[in-house]
Structure 1
């Protein structure tokens, strides 16, 4: 455990010195500043008022930007160390593969999760300063959703990073994953698939395998429990899960999926040629 924490601490320090982390901070911090300047907390968005509208807009931005940032900055975590011979150097110390792998993942999760939450808390603090009412339940559930979204894409990124030896190939694979998931993020696109006479239940089931879609619908359900925004699909989701159970599913499923890919990555890391 001590070595694992040391690896995590080392990865955090290394990430904080890198340029991508500065860009990461500027993106989410800058977005919040932009929301303040444009008066997003003083306008009406889709009928929502107060801090709820800030969370709604932040959700729409997060679902697109956060996954790709996590993927492109993490897929080269192990492949980059392997390509630059840092991995060979690290393994020359009494550090097990288990400590190295999970320590890198713990450190990287900390560095990608905290800036997003800090930016969110900054927005909440500003909204309260402007006289808004703090939606505690919504904030806690939304934080859990962001945690799950970060975790699943971190697991996918580490899985990709262990499969390839070149970080250029890893970056290409991350873009393919992101674009593929993004292409099926909108349940409205399922209308095109319905023309093939596929069962509606199967199509919706396949759509909900997409962690980005699960995050999107779960976040929407915080603002709109009846899911009127997504149309008739809402009836199937609410009849199958119910509102409370779907929120639990939206948090637990991405975490389980992320752990599955992270575990696959670890198995691949142990069995493949490390250098």
Structure 2
């Protein structure tokens, strides 16, 4: 365990020196700052104002940016070490493959989630400073489903690391997964529904397997428990899960998906020639 935590700490320190981490932190902190400068909290849209209004905008940004950043930054973790012969050097020490692999995963999880949480904390601090009411429970639940989505794509990224032969191949697979996940938000599912006789409940069920779609629906349900903006999809979600059930599902399923991909990736990682 001590060795695993040491590797995780080394990866965290490497993240702090990485330009990707700094750009990621700057983007989200800058976005939050721009929200306050532009007076978003003072505006009211569909009854939402203050921090609730800011979080609604934050959701739309996270849907696009978070998955691709987690995939790209994480996919390079093991592949870069292997290309630079760092992996072979580290494994020459009394470090097992599992300690290296899961230590990297733990450190990378901190690296991809810390900027998001810092940005949310920044939003809450500014909100308190401006005298806005802070929906504590809403912020905690939103942080939880955001963390779950990070775990899901982190596991997928490590699985991509395990099957890729080079960094270029890994980046290509990451973009493919990201585009596929975005396409199944609306475009692909609407096309399938209109061109085939497949049950719409089956289509809606497929949509909820997508971590991005699940994050989107559960985040919206925090502000709109009736999911009125989703149209007919809301009936399937509410009948199948309920307003609280969909949030619980969004907290549990992405974590299970991410851990399953992580473990399967480790199985493939052990089978490959690591040198």
TM-score range, shorter chain: over 0.9
Residue of structure 1 equivalent to 2:231: 231
Q: More deviation in 41-50 or 215-224?
A: 41-50
* Contact 1:68–1:175 under 8 Å retained in 2: yes
Question: How far is 1:189 from its partner?
Answer: 5.6
Residue of structure 1 equivalent to 2:73: 73
In the alignment, the residues of structure 2 paired with residue 101 and residue 126 of structure 1 have an alpha-carbon distance, to the nearest angstrom, of 38
Question: What's the secondary structure of 2:92's corresponding residue?
Answer: coil
Question: How far is 1:47 from its partner?
Answer: 2.9
Query: Deviations 1:159-195 (Å, cap 9, x if unpaired)?
Result: 1011112111101110000000011113x76332222
Aligned residue runs from structure 1 range 58-137, under 5 A? 58-137=58-137
- Is 1:268 the counterpart of 2:273? The answer is no
In the alignment, the residues of structure 1 paired with residue 40 and residue 149 of structure 2 have an alpha-carbon distance, to the nearest angstrom, of 24
* Contact 1:83–1:165 under 8 Å retained in 2: no
| TM-score for the superposition, normalised by structure 1 | 0.97
Question: What's the secondary structure of 1:100's corresponding residue?
Answer: helix
Aligned residue runs from structure 1 range 69-218, under 5 A? 69-186=69-186, 190-195=189-194, 196-218=196-218
In the alignment, the residues of structure 2 paired with residue 76 and residue 165 of structure 1 have an alpha-carbon distance, to the nearest angstrom, of 11
* Contact 1:75–1:157 under 8 Å retained in 2: yes
Structure 2: gaps (5+ residues): none
- Is 1:37 the counterpart of 2:46? The answer is no
In the alignment, the residues of structure 1 paired with residue 234 and residue 69 of structure 2 have an alpha-carbon distance, to the nearest angstrom, of 30
Question: What's the secondary structure of 1:111's corresponding residue?
Answer: helix
Query: Deviations 1:10-69 (Å, cap 9, x if unpaired)?
Result: 111111111111111111111111111111111123431121111111111011101101
Question: What's the secondary structure of 2:209's corresponding residue?
Answer: coil
* Contact 1:152–1:257 under 8 Å retained in 2: yes
* Corresponding residue pairs, total: 274
Question: What's the secondary structure of 1:273's corresponding residue?
Answer: coil
Q: More deviation in 194-203 or 151-160?
A: 194-203
Structure 1 residue runs of 4 or more that deviate by more than 4 Å after TM superposition: none
* Contact 1:5–1:103 under 8 Å retained in 2: yes
Question: What's the secondary structure of 2:198's corresponding residue?
Answer: coil
Question: What's the secondary structure of 1:3's corresponding residue?
Answer: helix
Query: Deviations 1:81-120 (Å, cap 9, x if unpaired)?
Result: 1111110111011100010000000000011111101101
Q: More deviation in 220-229 or 41-50?
A: 41-50
Structure 1: gaps (5+ residues): none
Question: What's the secondary structure of 1:268's corresponding residue?
Answer: helix
